[in-house]
Amino acid sequence: MAAVAYGHKNRDPLTPFTEADWTVDEPKSKISPYVRSKVRAERAAWDFLEKLPEEQRFELATVNPTLVIGPLLWKQECTSAEVLTMLLMREMPAVPDVRLPMVDIRDVVRAHVAAMTVPQAAGKRCLVSSHGSAMLDSSVLLAAEFKKHGYNPPTAKLPTWLLKVASVFDSRAAASASEAGKVGEKKRACARPHVRVA
């Protein structure tokens, strides 16, 4: 969802994101280099395809997952796993008041296979998510499971005002500060328990 759901100021937090939405990539947008790279890469892919002569065009579908969780195949961390590692390693004393829309890696794999094999997927941006979870709830679950193994995830909520102060010095805090305290969650318009193409 990095190419979809960031940089939208004054957006109603209960309005679902759809395949028509793009992350706002402007010089003043408070988005991380990772998010900026994702939106620019996807736009470049669609622009490249559009500029090809008709006889050279090919089918393209993109898969935009939210925070990906689940078993890793190797020890090298990915961006999604960094969030959970940050909690497990207690890299912050308390947890921001933000919601994390998550998706299981196995559902992301199914979405990629569907994007390649379902004819109706051609030309589509596939958003993949499940329900969101408060970051604090996720940290509390991690604490319940992993404290016995020597980990100590934070279980207190970080006040939003403190997060906003920290955002001046830390780009990761800035990304969270823009979402802190919002009642709603980022979600797709047609979230389904099973992966399929609309």
Cite the active site residues: 38
The token pair at 58 is: 């090919």
Q: If residue 174 lies in a helix (H) or strand (E), which one and from where to where?
A: helix 171-177
For residues 142 and 14, give the distance between their C-alpha atoms in angstroms, rounded to a whole number.
Answer: 27
Q: Tell me the C-alpha to C-alpha distance, in Å, between residue 52 and each of 48, 63, 116.
A: 7, 22, 20
Residue ranges in 28-100 assigned as alpha helix (H): 33-51, 79-88
**Half-sphere exposure for 53 (CA within 13 Å, toward CB):** 2
Q: If residue 146 lies in a helix (H) or strand (E), which one and from where to where?
A: helix 135-146
For residues 127 and 103, give the distance between their C-alpha atoms in angstroms, rounded to a whole number.
Answer: 10
Give the number of residues written for the chain: 198
For the chain, report the end-to-end CA distance as a whole number of angstroms.
Answer: 17
